[in-house]
Amino acid sequence: MAFDILMPALSPTMTEGKLLRWLKKEGDTISAGQVIAEIETDKATMEVEAVDEGILGKIFVPEGTEGVAVNTPIAVLIEEGEAVPDQAGTPKATTPQKPAEAAPAAPKAAAAPSSQKAAPVPAAQSAGTPTGRIIASPLAKRIAKEVSIDLTDLKGSGPNGRIVKRDVEAAKTKGPAKPVTATATATVPAEAEIVPMSSMRKVIARRLTEAKTTIPHFYVSVDVQLDALLSLRHQLNAASPAEGDDAFKLSVNDMLIKAAAITLRRVPGLNVSYAPDAVVHYPSVDISIAVSIPDGLITPIIRNVDKKSLREISNEMKDLVARARVGKLKPEEFQGGSFSISNMGMYGISAFSAIINPPQAGILAVAAGEKRPVVKGDSLAIGTVMTATISVDHRVIDGALAAQWMSVFRSVVESPISLVV
């Protein structure tokens, strides 16, 4: 006979509680009187003892679940050789706990298995799917490649949604008739011109949707005074030979890139990436720079920026941008990177915030340096001020850390001599 184990009432007035942790796991043999779980209310933490003996057949309410109503079945005890009955347990109290609120709960919850807390389905699931991994059979991949069908467009009819040969074959015969069906909404006027997306546009659309819908963006802005940096730039550029291999011409952007790299060394907590249940620390500072190209954008990477001189950074940027604009970048030159910078200064933009490039966790949006009134001491003066805004992935970078980074960034830019070392 299978018995449901119910959420106990720890006091006559208790209506619900939190299932703190399980001390037994599915399949364990339980004897009467053994403590099998811990329950917490806002008043106390209590142990739950088994009343009968048997085998813990199935746990319905995972550790860390809050708001479990009294008398809700939390598990079922079965006899040896018995199967878990299907009707056992109506787990209506499995309200998945709010993701990312582990911080306040952590100190007092003696329950060590914090990995359980991070696991609750909502957060984990959304991270799982859009990492861009296409599940397709080897044959389907081959055929798709051969006929230039983008597997990301296909729905798989194989096991677990796998794309199989028949899906690719069906897509082949359907042909590129898709443009017409793509925007069949009543609000688009019939005379509207429908232009099929290029591959790059599709990738941008997919990745940015993924970024904006799965990453909790958090923004911090500072106004940075550029006067010292502009003066240094002037001095350094004057020291360049007029022409030849050693000639250089530093741009403000080159210097801001180096400033960001130095800041990432000093506040390495932003040189990270989100992974399920982990924070991945990049081993080097590789900065992706957003470059606008016809009908899109691309982000060539300068690697180990912190170890390069301003001149090296500047020359590399010129080469990458030139090749980016004619589509001659190699995949390893734009795939990867640990942090991004986007600069709209050339458009006279006063401020903007950028979208994070997953799997990175931060992107700095640099706007135009403009003459603005500034306060020096107690008097009004004029300075060249630029508003910089950083967007960070709040799953792995907290607001305070982002603020700290911006503060350091500003001090590096405003005392730019450190860029030269």
Partner 1 sequence: MSTTDFDLVVIGGGPGGYVAALRAAQLKLSVAVVEGNHLGGICLNWGCIPTKALLRASEINHLLHDLEQFGFAVDNPRFDFEKVVARSRAVSGQLSGGVAHLLKKARVPVFNGFGKLSGNDGKKRKIAVTLNDGGTTELKAAHVILATGARARVLPGLEPDGKFVWSYREALVPDILPRRLLVIGSGAIGTEFASFYRNMGSEVTLIEVADRILPVEDEEISKLAHTAFEKQGMKILTSAKLGPLSKGKEDVTVEVTTARGTEKLTFDRVISAVGIVGNVEKLGLDNTKIEVDRTHIKTDHLCKTGEPGVYAIGDVAGAPWLAHKASHEAVMCVEAIAGLPVHPIDITKIPGCTYCRPQVASVGYTEAKAKAAGYQVRVGRFPFIGNGKAIAMGEPEGLVKTVFDARTGELLGAHMIGAEVTEMIQGYVIARTGELTEAELKETIFPHPTISESMHEAVLAAYDGALHF
* In 1-160, beta strands by DSSP E: 3-6, 16-22, 29-30, 35-40, 45-49, 54-59, 65-69, 73-78
CB of 148 to partner 1, least distance (A): 14
139 touching partner 1, by CB under 8 A:
yes
172 touching partner 1, by CB under 8 A:
no
Segment near partner 1 (CB under 8 A); pick from 21-29, 135-143, 187-195, 302-310: 135-143
Residue 279 falls in which region: left (phi positive, over 0), alpha (psi -120 to 50) or beta: beta
The residues that are catalytic are 394
Give the burial class of 23: count Cβ atoms within 10 A of its Cβ; 0-12 exposed, 13-18 middle, 19 or more buried. middle
**Rounded Cα–Cα distance for residues 107 and 109 (Å):** 6
Task: Report the residue number, 140 or 413, with the smaller CB distance to partner 1.
Answer: 140
From 142, 249, 265, 328, residue interacting with partner 1 (rule: CB under 8 A): 142
CB of 198 to partner 1, least distance (A): 27
Instruction: Using alpha carbons only, give the angle 192, 193, 194 rounded to the nearest 5 degrees.
Output: 115
143 touching partner 1, by CB under 8 A:
yes
R_g of the chain computed on alpha carbons = 29
380 bridge partner residues: 375
378 touching partner 1, by CB under 8 A:
no
CB of 137 to partner 1, least distance (A): 4
373 bridge partner residues: 382
What's the distance, CA 1 to chain centroid?
A: 48
165 touching partner 1, by CB under 8 A:
yes
The answer to whether 56 touches 25, Cβ cutoff 8 Å, is yes
CB of 130 to partner 1, least distance (A): 23
Segment near partner 1 (CB under 8 A); pick from 24-32, 47-55, 133-141, 356-364: 133-141
20 touching partner 1, by CB under 8 A:
no
Question: What is the token pair recorded at 184?
Answer: 């069949």
135 touching partner 1, by CB under 8 A:
no
**Rounded Cα–Cα distance for residues 229 and 226 (Å):** 5
Binding pattern for the stretch 274-313 against partner 1, x by CB under 8 A and - elsewhere: ----------------------------------------
376 touching partner 1, by CB under 8 A:
no
Could you count the other beta carbons within 10 Å of the beta carbon of residue 385? 19
CB of 141 to partner 1, least distance (A): 9
Task: Write out the H or E segment, with its range, that includes residue 139.
Answer: helix 138-146
Task: Report the residue number, 80 or 193, with the smaller CB distance to partner 1.
Answer: 80
From 41, 95, 126, 137, residue interacting with partner 1 (rule: CB under 8 A): 137
Region 40-99 residues binding partner 1, contact defined as CB under 8 A = 86
Strand order in the sheet with 287-289: 217-225, 379-393, 362-376, 339-343, 287-289, 301-302
Q: What stretches of 61-136 show up as alpha helix (H) in DSSP?
A: 102-108, 114-118, 121-128
CB of 6 to partner 1, least distance (A): 25
CB of 172 to partner 1, least distance (A): 12
138 touching partner 1, by CB under 8 A:
yes
Segment near partner 1 (CB under 8 A); pick from 48-56, 89-97, 103-111, 132-140: 132-140
Binding site for partner 1 (CB under 8 A): 86, 137-140, 142-143, 146, 157, 164-165
